[in-house]
Amino acid sequence: MILYVKGNLFQSPAQTLVNTVNTVGVMGKGVALEFKRLFPEMYRQYRDLCEQGRFQVGKLWLYKSPQKWVLNFPTKKHWRAPSQTAYVEAGLQKFIQVYSDWGIHSVAFPPLGCGNGQLDFETQVRPLMEHYLKPLPIDVFIYPDRHSEFIEHLNVKQMKEWLRSEPASLPFAEVWEDLTAVLAQKQEFATITQKSPFTARIVSEPKGLKITASRQTYFIHYETLLAFWQQLRAHGFSMRHIAPGLDRQLSYLIPIFAKLPYVAPVHVSESYNQFTVTGLQILPVAWKPKTAQQLPLFQAG
């Protein structure tokens, strides 16, 4: 049975709430951002699935919390692209195959692929949802009021700036894009400590980073760079003992990653008298003076 509801999806009595997502690990504006804030562990797991290439259109991922279950439903591949009815239909087909086995007995849907996705609910989405969901022997709540003034793929610059304001959550797909842009403009670098010159460039097949230094060539695979970013993102710092297996390459990665506006080199040591270790750190949002001035010391109340 389908029941249309005017109201807030997060206040639904349904056991399971549907979150419309992309497959690159970004929960940007609107409802997805609220899901990210309410279920931070769900977001981390979702982002990891995307970075590993294990979450695609036509697949669904169910996250169970003590309060609600969240069904992550891809309606677009990249946040920069609009949704497609074929993606919505693929997800609905998957839902009717798995809902019973997954123990879903009531579910609340937003208008799939609308808002940021820019599909029309009346003519494109509602017919699909009714076709697949109406025959089901469970309670289906649809919350059709989803209007967004901010369309992600039509506001690319603003969206990129917003994502990079929180680097501790930034998916590697965005970091790789930034690294590609950096290396398109600059290929010559020098290590921080020894000032040894080297060159670096992006390689597409196999995907990764090629470094040439002192007549030696090193290749760092995309997957290794992904793991390196995940460690940096998780710890906030990256040094030799945090990035095992990259002992030699780390001295080259530091000046490259330091070109990103949200990463900086840092000198650390276990001894107060001698700072001998060079690493990387993620810059928190509040480090920027403009942002810091907006943070109150006390909150009235």
Question: Residues 282, 168: contact at Cβ < 8 Å?
Answer: yes
Closest CA to 95 of 82, 79, 112: 112
**Alpha helices by DSSP H, the chain:** 30-38, 40-51, 85-98, 126-133, 156-164, 172-185, 222-235, 247-257, 289-292
Coil, strand or helix at 150: coil
Local structure of residue 192 (DSSP, 8 states):
T
Q: How far apart are CA 217 and CA 210, in angstroms?
A: 7
State the first-to-last Cα distance of the chain, in angstroms, to the nearest integer. 46
Which positions are annotated as active-site residues? Answer: 76
The string of DSSP letters for 198-243 reads: EEEEEEETTEEEEEEETTEEEEEEHHHHHHHHHHHHHHSEE-TTTS
Q: How far apart are CA 204 and CA 196, in angstroms?
A: 26
Q: Cα dist. 68→28, 62, 94 in Å?
A: 21, 11, 21
Q: Cα dist. 249→7, 26, 48, 54 in Å?
A: 53, 29, 24, 28
Residue type at position 114 = C
Residue type at position 152 = E
Question: Residues 98, 131: contact at Cβ < 8 Å?
Answer: no
